[in-house]
Amino acid sequence: MQFVIAETLEHALELMASGSRPIAGGTDLVVGARQGKEPLPDALVAIDRLGVLASIDGGTGEDGEIVIGACVSHATIAGHGDIIDLVPGLADGSSLVGSPATRHVGTIGGNIMNASPAMDTGAPLLAAGAAVEVASTRGSRLLAVADLWLGPGQTSVDSDELCVAVHIPRPGPRTSSAYVRLEYRRTMEIAVVGAGAQVSLSDDGSVASASVALTAVAPVIIAVQGLSEVVGLQPGEAARTVARLASEQSRPISDLRASDRYRRHTVGVMASRAVLAACRRAAGEEIAVPVNRSEGIGAGYPGDAVANTTADGVEL
């Protein structure tokens, strides 16, 4: 096997043009190979030391867009002030991925490009209308995440293209987001189902606009359709409507983690809880990241606002 540490982004793209596959955190690639899912590629190019892929621009540019480098770790995103302020739903998702070790080496670029329907960053990004920036020796392009995922492990990106950044439109006023997932334990967990919501509120507290995306109920992360139905509704009613739409539109499988019937039901519960949390945040309430812990969803403890500590307060 050939393993090259890229010196520059251009160097990495050249190696990818000649067939190398990129590696950053390696949390999917190596685990997948060990489980026999897919053998390790013959040629790897390490991109984890490229500073250009490791920064977060929290909306300082002209259009106020938030740009997250592909090699930014989940732990960095989960603790980043601008992300928590502007797109807390993404921070919710990033703070739930795997274990502390996974979050410290695993990257947002890897999570997105691995295209698992159970990924925790996908639903918040889709709900936020995010796009990925991919680059190759042929140039670069922006691609809406809605157009990125084709199926489990499959994307619409060519094999020589490298994900370099994620672009998130700056949310407007009275707009916020949340991501919640159904989980059976507090760490080392994968979403049974999940839901990300981004909601804008009108001055009277009703929903002005909403977008909701669902985790692990279809071959890809899917957006809930027909959300114009909830415009003008108060949060409680909107959440109930979203729950119904989410359950109706999900196409879950039955596997070891859950039956399709249970997933179809619980994705509605998660969607409802995500919408309610997003509405409360949009109204100015602070709900600590991740919502799962602060609201006691899944295996979290009620009122436990601190992620990654044991019941005795020991940091993990």
Partner 1 sequence: MQQGSGTTKFVRADGPDKVTGSGRYAADMVLPGMLFAAFRYAEVSHARIVELDVEAARSMPGVLAVLTDDDVPDVRYGAGVADRTLFARGVVRFEGEVVAAVAATTPEAARSAADAIVFEYEELPAIVDVEQAIEPVSPLVHAGWEDYEASTERGHNVASYSSITLGDTDTALAAAHTVVTSRYVADASHAVPIEPRAVLAQWEGDKVTIWSSTQVPFDAQAGVCETLEMPANRVRVVVPHLGGGFGGKCGFHFEAHVAALARAARRPVKLVFTRREEFTAPDRRREGMVIELTSGLDADGRIVARTGEVLIDCGAYIADGAFFPQVASMHIAGPYSIPNVSIEASLVYTNHQPSGSVRAPTAPQGCWAVESHTDELAETVGLDPVEFRRLNAVREGATGPSGQVYGPIGLLDCIDAAVASASYGTDLAADEAVGVAVGWWPTFAVPSGAYVKINGDGSGQIITGAQECGTGSVMTLCQLAAEEVGLNPEDFQLVYQDTAAGPWDMGATGSQTLVNNGRAVVAASQQIADALKKLAADQLEASPDDIELLEGQARVVGTPAASIAIGELAAIAAGGELLLGHGSGPPPVAPEISATCVGDQGMAAWVAPQFSCHAIRVKVDRDTGVVRVLSVAAAHDSGTIINPMGAQGQVHGGVLMGIGQALSEGTVYDDRGNQMNPGLLEYKLQTIADAPPISIDFVGVAAPDGGPRGSKGIAEAPNVATAAAIANGIAKVVGARLTQLPMKPERVWEASSGAAEAGGR
Residue ranges binding partner 1 (CB under 8 A): 35, 182-188, 190, 192, 256-259, 262, 265-266, 269, 296-302, 308-312, 316
Environment class of residue 21 by beta-carbon count within 10 Å: exposed (0-12), middle (13-18) or buried (19+)? middle
Q: For 53-77, give one letter per residue: b (16+ CB within 10 A) or e.
A: bbebebbeeeeebbbbbbbbbbbbb
- Cβ closest to partner 1, residue 173 vs residue 302: 302
Q: Taking the alpha carbons of 121, 124, 127, 129 in that order, is the dihedral positive or negative? A: negative
Least Å from the CB of residue 186 to partner 1: 4
- Cβ closest to partner 1, residue 119 vs residue 168: 119
Least Å from the CB of residue 215 to partner 1: 14
Structure tokens at 262: 């249970």
- Cβ closest to partner 1, residue 4 vs residue 30: 30
3-state secondary structure of 303: coil
Structure tokens at 228: 């114009």
Determine the Cα–Cα distance for residues 214 and 116; give it in Å rounded to an integer.
12
Do 250 and 53 contact (CB within 8 A), yes or no? no
3-state secondary structure of 80: coil
- Cβ closest to partner 1, residue 196 vs residue 268: 268
- Cβ closest to partner 1, residue 72 vs residue 217: 217
3-state secondary structure of 53: helix
Least Å from the CB of residue 145 to partner 1: 25
Least Å from the CB of residue 295 to partner 1: 11
Least Å from the CB of residue 34 to partner 1: 9
Least Å from the CB of residue 14 to partner 1: 32
Determine the Cα–Cα distance for residues 153 and 159; give it in Å rounded to an integer.
13
- Cβ closest to partner 1, residue 163 vs residue 180: 180
